[in-house]
Every structure is written in structure tokens, then in C-alpha cells.
Amino acid sequence: MLSSRAFSTRPRLNSARRAPGFVSSRSYALSVIPPKVIKGMTLPRHFTGKKAFQYNWYMKILDSSTTSPLLFLYHNDFTSQKLIKLRRDISAASNRSGSKPSLSSKSPAGVPAEPTSEPLLTVIRSSIFGAALRDYPTVDNADIMRMTEGVAGALAVLSLPVLDPPQLKAILRTFDRTVPPRKAKTEEELRKEEEEKKADPANPGRRIKPMKQIVDPELRVLGALLDGQILLPDRVNSIAELPTLQTLREQLVGLLSSPGTQLAMTLSEASGGRLARTLEGLKKGLEETSGDAPAP
């Protein structure tokens, strides 16, 4: 199971303004645009206290993307129970594919020498994570802006322990199963919601009884960061469809050994049966041409 400490970076709101069981979120997406320089401000920025800890933590997460993918996720309207279930499902999907060979394995058989850690889901603080991305040398800010274009809301990152396409595919399937895509509302539903907002209360002057809100969470993969390159969702899905390391090795061995096998078969036929048959036919042809005359 993933550690609950991974979610300690979300901003806190007043308990009177925050509905119980809900995860607070930011109202803006990730921004890598350099801040405006104001009087008395020096660049690059130096954080202190809790912000410095978060900045260093985010830089460590970015450093891990040199050997394994880092998924960027957009999430909205998640209750704490839904978030816990999502973490458990990610862990279960990772363990189901953990016995398969990994693309990052150093073992010839494709089996890791030691057990790998589980994926870590971290709800990020957009402003500080954006500063970490700006200061990270190998990331192109234009790619980040292209990835988060039109996105406004809370973001999270999922750190995968290894680059394992079957594991990545299992996790992407878990997202669709645990948090299905939202269905588009019909015109009738939108009209009814608008009428309910404008309608007068049933009992004017009385306190409205609080009702339990029905939460429809939303989760979407924005892209991934791998070895300094930003991968959009299409490329992430393409990587997830790759075969296991053992299958790739078998295919590579087959491609390398195929020309040698064909050449060996050709030489075997030429030096063996086919050459003998060719010489025997030539001998018979000469004998028929010369008749029974003895050879000089």
C-alpha cells in the first residue's frame, strides 16, 4: 500500500469551509512561466521552511524520471475514500505485473535482482512544483505548457519504480476501471440544473437541510516525463502496448539469427545434396554426348 504521507502537501483550508471527506484542490493548473520580478525580489527564488522541503522533494521526484516514467494526472472531486481506493488499486495492479520481466532489469533472465518499490502517488502543490520544473535543466517548458493547456484544477504525479510496459498498461486500465470517464450531460439535464438553481426555496426563511452531495470524481492522464522528455497521452499508450522484455529479447535473437540460419542452410545444400546432384547430372550429360567411346 502506498504511504499516506504522499498526500501531505495539499494546501489546507479552514475546516468550516471544507466539506468533510473531500480533498482540497487548487483552482489553477501547473504553471512554468517565470514570475514577474518585483522590487526586492531575486532570481532564482530560494524557498525556506516547509516550501523548501517541498521544493527539494519535488526535485527528487523529477530526478527519478531519468530511469522510470513519471505520470502527470489531473484529478477532480475526489473524496478521501475514493482516493484511498485508487491507491489500493494502483498497488494491486503493480503487484499483479511485478513477476514479469522489466525493461530496466539488469538480470539476463529479465528478473530484478531485488524487489522493486511500489508506485507512489503524490498530490502536488502546483506553484512550487512549477518552480521545480523551471529549474530542472532537461525539461522543456514549452512541452509542459502544451501538456497542461486548457487544464485548471488539482494535479498529481505518479512515480513508477521501473519502466515496465505491462505494469504501465495495468495501471492505465485501473484508472479507467476505478474512475470511469464522465458522461456528457444532455441538454435536458443541463436545463433542469439551471432551473433548480433559479428556483425559489420550498420553505422561505427556513434553514435548508444539508444534503449529502453525490460526488462524480474525474481522473485523466495528462502525460509523462521520462529521461527529460515530455510524452503526451498518445505516446504513453503506445509505450504501454509494448511487449515484455523477454519477448523483445526473443524477437531480437530471432532477427539476428535469421540471416545466419538461411546462409547455413544455403551452404549446406550447396555443399551437400544439391552440389552432388548437379555434378551427377553433368557426368551423365557428358557420357550421353560422348557415347560409349572410351575416354582418352
Distance CA 8, CA 88 (A): 17
Sequence-ordered alpha helix ranges (H) in 18-115: 50-63, 80-96
The DSSP string of 177-240 is HHSPPPPPPPHHHHHHHHHHHHSPPSSTTSPPPP-PPPP--EEEEEEEEETTEEE-HHHHHHHH
Cis omega (within 30 of 0) for bond into 35: no
Decide if pLDDT at 136 tops 80: yes
Would you tell me how many other CB atoms lie within 10 Å of the CB of residue 104? 15
Mean pLDDT value of segment 10-24: 40
The overall pTM is greater than 0.85: no
Give 87 or 150, the one with higher predicted confidence. 87
Contact between 231 and 225 (Cβ < 8 Å):
yes
Distance CA 50, CA 249 (A): 47
Decide if pLDDT at 214 tops 60: yes
Distance CA 50, CA 38 (A): 23
Q: Helix 165-178 and helix 233-240: axis angle, to 10°?
A: 120
Q: What is the pLDDT of residue 10?
A: 41
For residue 265, what is the enclosing H or E element?
helix 245-271
Reported as a single tens digit per residue, the pLDDT across 70-90 is 999 998 888 888 888 999 999
Give 26 or 139, the one with higher predicted confidence. 139
Mean pLDDT value of segment 191-207: 76
Residue 251 CA: distances (Å) to CA of 21, 100, 168, 238, 247: 50, 17, 21, 18, 6
Reported as a single tens digit per residue, the pLDDT across 220-273 is 999 999 888 899 999 999 988 888 767 777 777 777 777 766 666 665 665 556
Decide if pLDDT at 15 tops 50: no
Give 22 or 201, the one with higher predicted confidence. 201
Decide if pLDDT at 157 tops 90: yes
Q: What is the pLDDT of residue 260?
A: 66
Distance CA 292, CA 288 (A): 8
Mean pLDDT of the chain: 75
- 210 phi, psi to nearest 5 deg: -65, 140
Q: What is the pLDDT of residue 6?
A: 45
Q: What is the pLDDT of residue 225?
A: 92
C-alpha cell of 273?
545434396
Lowest mean pLDDT among 2-6, 66-70, 176-180, 203-207: 2-6
Distance CA 200, CA 267 (A): 93
Q: What is the pLDDT of residue 19?
A: 41
Q: Which of 28, 52, 59 is nearest to 122 (CA)?
A: 59
Q: What is the pLDDT of residue 272?
A: 57
**Helix and strand counts by DSSP (H, E) for the chain:** 9, 5
Reported as a single tens digit per residue, the pLDDT across 36-47 is 766 766 666 778
Q: What is the pLDDT of residue 79?
A: 83
